[in-house]
Structure 1
Amino acid sequence: MERKRRGTGKSTLSDVAKFVGVSSMTVSRALRDPTKVSETLVGKIQEAIKELGYVPNNAAQALASASSRLILFVTPRLASPGFQAIYHQMKQSLKKMGFHVLLAELNNKQADYDSISTFISYNPVLVIKFDIQFTNELNDYLSKSKIHLLSIGHGVNDNTDSEMMITPDFKAVFELMAYKIAHRVYRNPLLILHGEECFSQDIIRSWDRMLLAHDLSPNRVHPIYLAPSVMAGFDVLKEMQTSFTDTDLVVTSDENLAYGIWFACREMGIAVPAQLAIVCVGQLDLNQSGRSKLSGVNIRWDTLAVQAMEKVCECLELPSKLKPNSLAVEWISGESY
């Protein structure tokens, strides 16, 4: 029989057994090998686990305890803009603090209990989700399990009262861009946005506010649904010549799209930036050869990572010695604007 974990308030295997009306040994057997009990009983036990927020230890005894040192990252796409920078910086900080980090990549934009239950069975003390929504059922389960939640992404309607939120300051992004636009005469800017881009809701809202503030037509957004790449950007210019022929400034949410548009301009004899200016918003990899030629508003993901680590320390009641960089965004000058 599993003893109650002192001082945590978490449900135990005994609580699940009492809820179902069977012995703790039967519940343990069902969790180890569901084929040894009836399907009906397995269903009742799973319902009890969800209702009580019980976290099975499974094969994670070395990590799972009342003083778990495991932190789980969940994201639908490892290539999501900003994820790699934030994940690696936070992982280094967490390892120095003695935590183990587990990364889960789920191939959809929403996670339910079944898709994440295996990872949760390792009893993390904190779940960090990046640009992914959790179902209400999963949020309720994690809340009952006393597992902290930190969300890095755009504001969505699945956030619980106990969930902490960190998101890029897109208002600052487009205020900086508006300042730059004010010094040039651009009347028909167009935003090229990947259809499944993280933070897309916040980007579009901030973009429309900027256009309206400068008496420009809002809703000038062209979504694409192919994976953002140089080739996709190359094809976008051809689409623009059909739907947005008056465009004089292109803003992209991915630098590969920006370079694709730039290369297409060269092939079609369109002068950059004289005839068409190009600006990238989000993440610029200035370490790559030749990439410094692109102009853009660079989001300081390192600043966001420090803010997230402060939230981690706050919820886990740990001392924080981090010094956040107050610079949230910065303008990168190049030849494309």
Structure 2
Amino acid sequence: MSLRCLLCFKKTMIRPSMSRNVQLGKLCSRIKLCSSQFRQFTSQSWEPVPDFDYLSDPKNYQTIESNIKSRKGTGSIELFMELLSKFNSSQSADKMELRKTLLAEALKIPNNSHPRLHAYGDTPHVVETPDLLHSRLIESCGMDTKSERTQVYKLEPKFYGDICLSGTAEMALASYFTGSAVPVSELPIKMAAVSRCYRAETSNVQEERGIYRVHQFTKVEMFGVTSGEAAASDALLEEFVAIQKELFSSLGLHYQLLDMPLHELGAPAYRKFDIEAWMPGRNMYGEISSASNCTDYQARRLNIQSIDSSDTRRFVHTVNGTACAVPRTLIALLETHQQSNGEVIIPAVLQPYLNGMERLRNPTQPFKMKWIKSKAQKNKTS
């Protein structure tokens, strides 16, 4: 039933003076009218209008061809240009048929792509990682699982063996390549994962209260594998940091980039950058992201190598970076954009995901909690 039919139905339902039979008769006649209008509308008295000026311009040929290939489209700009040439030179009676074929071919060509997307590469890798990992894999990535002050949660060995909860998707992504020989032609490999992270972290510092330091949170992690050249892994580290800066700048956050000193690198990192965002409610900069170049530290412990056309093998380099740690990003967002009246201005880049909402406003009605008696408790007392 069309929207107009629904409106007609609503109008008939609000006339209490009519009998049910009269209402039904009028409703059926209205539905017939709407159906005929719908058939008339879908007979396609109009036709699509492709952007022939753009498609026929030789300057755009390479861009369109590359776009079709990258997006795995079904159209062919070469075939379109051939048909266009035939159509322009044709004087025969089949010109109308040529026009239909030309129009159909033009409609197969996909829309243009945002220029920034071309920098992401042709083969993105988005992976779902497990929550449980063997302690050997975690330690191979540089995180201790045995000491008393470890941040790693361990399952009961009696029932599950030497299994731990994953602290970051980085460890699972690195483990994915364990014992593999990656062709040099496939490098660098860039991956991303959204995962739950579990960390045995506690703090008594007032500024780290609330959701700043928690035992379980969601995080988007970037991970890359490059050749064993320092220049290659350094370049990927710079790319990850550039992505982080672009993300946080688009959110309107005030942040600082720190090139971490030796005592802050930890065991696996060759170089590490931290990004700290200003959190007005806490009157402090708080870490919201980091990126590390681990060179061949993890690759040597997980036996990840590259192999070239002459079968020469070499340990690869691994790079990782946090794209978004949800709790701390929320803190920075809310505290940065909160206004004096309590409302929070939503950054422009997030508004499309919130149905165009521009502000988070205070609720018009207070939240009410409803208590429900437990049946289990009732059965227990009886």
TM bin (shorter chain): under 0.3
TM normalised by structure 1 equals 0.21
Q: Which has the higher contact order (CA 8 A, sep 6+)?
A: 1
TM normalised by structure 2 equals 0.19
Whichever of the two has the greater Rg, that structure is 2
